[in-house]
Amino acid sequence: MENQTIVYILLLAGLSDLPSLQLPLFLLFLLIYLMTLTGNLLILLLIFTDSHLHTPMYFFLGTLACMDLCSSSVTAPKLLFDLLIQKRVISVRACITQIFFFLCLCGSEISVLAVMSYDRYIAICRPLHYMQIMSWKVCVHLVLVVFVLSAVHSLVHTLFLTKLTFCRPDVLQSFFCDLPQLLQVSCSDTFINVLLIFVCGYGASEPN
């Protein structure tokens, strides 16, 4: 078997290689990131401070705002940092960690939206029994189930990613570590990983 050198550093393509665009892009995405943080924090603050908003609907809305705040913080700081430097590198371990949190938080956001739809369905179709069905205990349990299932889904992908090896410092054609791009640059057999993508409904195309 041919010897292969295992690398632990990967390169990110980023948004642009043109130096003249680096600063404008940095300022633009910094503004977007700060607006995202500010908007979600204001939503959380308003829900916590106004007792009239202590209802299941706003509980789920606050949870969604928290998830959105966290998920944007998984990729945005690294993107902003890379816009200020020429060589955009990330370790394989950090890349896999970013994928774990990205999948977990995005999966949680989608699931919380589904729970919010169920909450509105109960409010419209069963208004007289709404507070009995959507009690605080039920709301907390629904959110916990969402978090646990999203974490398990993400952990399964992450565990199989740790089994892969990378033999050359290839460039990931993205500004963050995305699962399909990471599989494309691996020199290991990625059949199980690709199978997991299709089984878990990741929605990504098969790597070449």
pLDDT tens for 32-75 read 999 999 999 999 999 999 888 889 999 999 999 999 999 999 98
What pLDDT, on the 0 to 100 scale, is given for residue 4?
55
Residue 206 has pLDDT above 70, yes or no: no
Is 23 within the bounds of a domain?
yes
Residue 6 has pLDDT above 70, yes or no: no
Q: Indicate if the pLDDT at residue 1 is higher than 90.
A: no
Summarize the confidence of residues 173-178 as an average pLDDT: 81
| Residue bearing tokens 């729970």 | 115
Using the predicted structure, report yes or no on whether residue 5 has a pLDDT greater than 70: no
Which residues, including other chains, have CB under 8 Å from residue 155's CB and lie 6 or more apart?
Answer: 100
Q: What is the pLDDT of residues 113-172, one digit of tens each?
A: 999 999 999 999 988 888 888 999 999 999 999 999 999 999 999 998 888 888 766 677
User: With b meaning 16 or more CB within 10 Å and e meaning fewer, what string describes 160-190?
Assistant: ebeebebeeebebeebbbbbbbbbbbbeeeb
Question: Looking at the domain assignment, is residue 8 inside a domain?
Answer: no
Kindly report the CATH number assigned to the domain that includes residue 159: 1.20.1070.10
Instruction: Read off the pLDDT band of 7 (50, 70, 90).
Output: low
pLDDT tens digits, 183-204: 888 888 888 888 888 877 654 4
Q: Is residue 166 in a domain?
A: yes
In this structure, is residue 179 part of a structural domain? Answer: yes
Tell me how many domains the chain contains: 1
Q: How many CB atoms lie within 10 A of CB 157?
A: 19
The verdict on residue 208 lying in a domain is no
pLDDT in the model for residue 10 = 77
Higher pLDDT, 181 or 58: 58
pLDDT at 202: 58
Tokens of 128: 């007289």
Q: Work out the burial of residue 82: count CB atoms within 10 Å of its CB; fewer than 13 is exposed, 13-18 middle, 19 or more buried.
A: buried
Range of the structural domain that residue 43 is part of: 17-199
Q: Is residue 207 part of a domain?
A: no
In a domain, 10, yes or no: no
pTM: 0.83
Reported as a single tens digit per residue, the pLDDT across 82-118 is: 888 777 888 888 889 999 999 999 999 999 999 999 9
